[in-house]
Structure 1
């Protein structure tokens, strides 16, 4: 039997939701900011598209390698303290990138440091929501939490005209490093002394590993597509003839659309009767159409439509996937989400360098078609996991 230790001194339900947005936003900013400021970063450091993609993949590689460890650390420290530790790591990565990055190798090292921080922030926020928010609000809570991605792209997009083209791209990293330190001081000290862990440890063998592994692979393919979108959206628009400042603003528009969509999908999940994984599949398939549209035309109307679809559907389903994982594993949400989040990091390793490699050899249209194919593979794995979960439920039902 599992019992929960005292959470006195921790954040309230609303406070936890707000904190999770800040935590995961800061945790991905090292990679997202490099993507948003890619034109300026590449120009100063002398990097090719493929080198930029490989550098960003280092962020996801280190996050993947430390994902399981990050989940266990979170359950030992409690969500608030773990979010504070993650913010310190993200701040260090941002500061080092802005102040010390002078070559491709230094950029790789500093982004890898940010990946370790990300591997702590992700399970910490999942555990925090699972422990602080009541079941009837979990869908919208995860939807709000997952607005971190669009919020991060909004910051990265606005950083181009507001900071990058005025003060220089390094200042953008420095300003966000200061924000990370402030977050750590405010949130990291709010947890209870003894953390928020479960007294009884749940063994890995007790988790539905087959289903979780399938969802992890869905995350590999889906995140490969999303990471390519984040890293090369601005570059793709610039290559089609759009001014870099305008491209950054389009990036920001996409983030606003994605923010609203994720909250909406979470609300629908709380109110509706359909299972979360079914909604995930629907959004993934709609997202495929958005990426295909990117490949087929670069007209302004098509750009508007494809941006809305890609950010709202193709990148909007991650909160619902985490909701499904937490709902199906209430005794060990941190451990279960750690396994699935390893797939997210794996996709980040593959997506940007693969996209950059295709661009250099075949151009952006071919790269966007490959991105659509990756998201289609993600949908196939999600369907398989959903069927596996349905079969498992049927097996546990009492026979008449």
Structure 2
């Protein structure tokens, strides 16, 4: 029996290690993302006070994800030198400072964009730190579940953003919401802790599965990165503009926020369930990723009808399925490239960050010129293009390595 030096089998404590590490990662990642999603959810209130139009909201969200994408690869070496916990704490404190800055000192949309650029730096630093945190603590046969839980931080941040809408409408103004959120992120920074030595030692280093890579695998990785980028573009456009367009369609701001919260819960459920299923199956799961993206494309395209019922369908299909496969995709890349998971996920994360940046920006520009129906149709088409790229990448992987069963 393998022990961790304390006389016990580390497998007996896998559940505790999984829940603890995943919870810390979710809290930290949500804290890094919440500034962008609170801003998106409060867009109707910010429109009057800060002049935040649809196109400007796209620019603001794009700036956040652009600085995140630039910071994430540069933060990798810092994480390795300083440790995951120190970087997560420092980045969360920066995120809290940015939220406070918005609440107290921002008076126009240009200032909002500047502060969100700084908040994007914090988010970019948290991402590799949280990934390393999970990688060191979770054994391989539970990594699918762990990645699914960790990726639920994105809809969790949407959930917080949705909650901010009724609070701003009925309890306090939007500035108070930012300040209160800053306090919550600061508390999260204090709550993130280094796990005890026994728990760190419990991580099981299983040998990677056999793999015969060819030159085609690198091309497949690039294709899959493009696919994730296209899907991220569509998903982030939905998260950024759902509340604003729902209000335009006839929902009250509070009801639109509640719908966004329901969508976030659907997405969290989908991510965790997909991760659990990934741990129980031998294939890469990329075909499931493609199917979920296709369902999301249908849900988002229905918003072009501008009917109230379409927003409920978008919650189930667009939020729940269309953005619920992030953990499954990350797990698929790690298992498909066991000898170089850091390099592989770095490339795909670059694609996701680029899509997260360009999606809201593109939506805002299309909405400003052609209206919201055209923007939602274009967003649905983006997810369909992502389906095609994922299926092509899956086929290239199957051709490149015989042992992989996609």
TM-score under structure 1 normalisation? 0.87
CA offsets 1:288-327 (integer angstroms, 9 cap, x no match): 1111222235143x33223200111111111111112222
1:162-177 equivalences in 2 (<5 Å): 162-177=167-182
User: Given the superposition, is the C-alpha separation of residues 173 and 260 from structure 1 closer, same or farther in structure 2, using an over 3 Å criterion?
Assistant: same
The correspondence for 1:291, drawn from 278, 297, 300, is: 300
Task: Show the counterpart of 1:142.
Answer: 147
Task: Show the counterpart of 2:266.
Answer: 257
User: Given the superposition, is the C-alpha separation of residues 182 and 42 from structure 1 closer, same or farther in structure 2, using an over 3 Å criterion?
Assistant: same
1:36-185 equivalences in 2 (<5 Å): 36-185=41-190
1:222-371 equivalences in 2 (<5 Å): 222-300=231-309, 302-330=310-338, 332-371=340-379
**Counterpart of 1:394 in 2: which secondary structure?**
coil
1:14-33 equivalences in 2 (<5 Å): 14-33=19-38
Task: Show the counterpart of 1:3.
Answer: none
Q: Is the 8 A contact 1:84 1:189 kept in 2?
A: no
CA offsets 1:231-290 (integer angstroms, 9 cap, x no match): 110111111111111111111111111111111111121223442222211111111111
For these two proteins, the number of residue pairs brought into alignment is 375
Unaligned runs of 5+ in 1: 1-10, 199-205
TM-score under structure 2 normalisation? 0.86
Task: Show the counterpart of 2:390.
Answer: 382
Task: Show the counterpart of 2:210.
Answer: none
Partners of 1:334 and 1:177 in 2: how far apart? 31
| CA displacement at 1:191 relative to structure 2 | 8.2
Task: Show the counterpart of 2:5.
Answer: none
Task: Show the counterpart of 2:12.
Answer: none
Q: Is the 8 A contact 1:326 1:333 kept in 2?
A: yes
Q: Mean alpha-carbon deviation: is it higher for 380-389 or for 343-352?
A: 380-389
User: Given the superposition, is the C-alpha separation of residues 357 and 278 from structure 1 closer, same or farther in structure 2, using an over 3 Å criterion?
Assistant: same
Structure 1 residue runs of 4 or more that deviate by more than 6 Å after TM superposition: none
Greater relative CO, 1 or 2 (CA 8 Å, sep 6+)? 1
Q: Cα RMSD over matched residues? A: 2.5
User: Given the superposition, is the C-alpha separation of residues 60 and 207 from structure 1 closer, same or farther in structure 2, using an over 3 Å criterion?
Assistant: farther
| CA displacement at 1:152 relative to structure 2 | 1.2
Partners of 1:247 and 1:93 in 2: how far apart? 26
Q: Is the 8 A contact 1:222 1:375 kept in 2?
A: yes
| CA displacement at 1:14 relative to structure 2 | 2.5
